[in-house]
Amino acid sequence: MAYESDIKKLKLLVTVVNRSKETYYIDLLEQFEINMQMVLYGEGTANSQMLSMLGLAETEKVVILSCVREDKVKEIKNTLSEKFKKIRNGKGIAYTIPMEGVVGVALYQFLSNYRA
């Protein structure tokens, strides 16, 4: 059983990237002990003139939802920020949302990658 001092808060990491980079970013995030990721497919609605003005090529995007431990957030965001700057066509955005009220010890242990 997890003691209160062992319990780490969880955050939902939302990462939006070009669809062509989906596998790259999913694999990158798995390095941070993430047990649950969900991918949603989307498409931007900006017209070609707007895309050209902003320097964007792809309109097809993926939204990667990842359940992460709060103590890993800074490291994950730093890594993503670095990759967004360096990877060709790898730009994206990432932010976190607090997760409150995860029900059940077993579910918490799975989502936080807790091992007693």
pLDDT tens sequence across 67-111: 999 999 999 999 999 999 998 877 889 999 988 765 567 777 777
Give domain status of residue 77, yes or no. yes
Of 10-14, 35-39, 48-52, 78-82, where does mean pLDDT reach its minimum? 48-52
Give domain status of residue 2, yes or no. no
Give domain status of residue 3, yes or no. no
How many folded domains does the chain comprise?
Answer: 1
- Domain at 62, CATH number: 3.30.70.120
Give domain status of residue 95, yes or no. yes
Name beta bridge partners: 17. 62, 92
Give domain status of residue 48, yes or no. yes
What percentage of the chain has pLDDT greater than the value 90?
46
C-alpha separations of 27 from 23, 45, 97, 114 in Å: 6, 28, 21, 20
Judge contact between 65 and 13, C-beta under 8 A: yes
Residue 72: give the domain boundaries. 8-112
Residue 51 φ/ψ, nearest 5 degrees: -60, -45
User: Is the sign of the CA dihedral 73, 79, 83, 85 positive or negative?
Assistant: positive
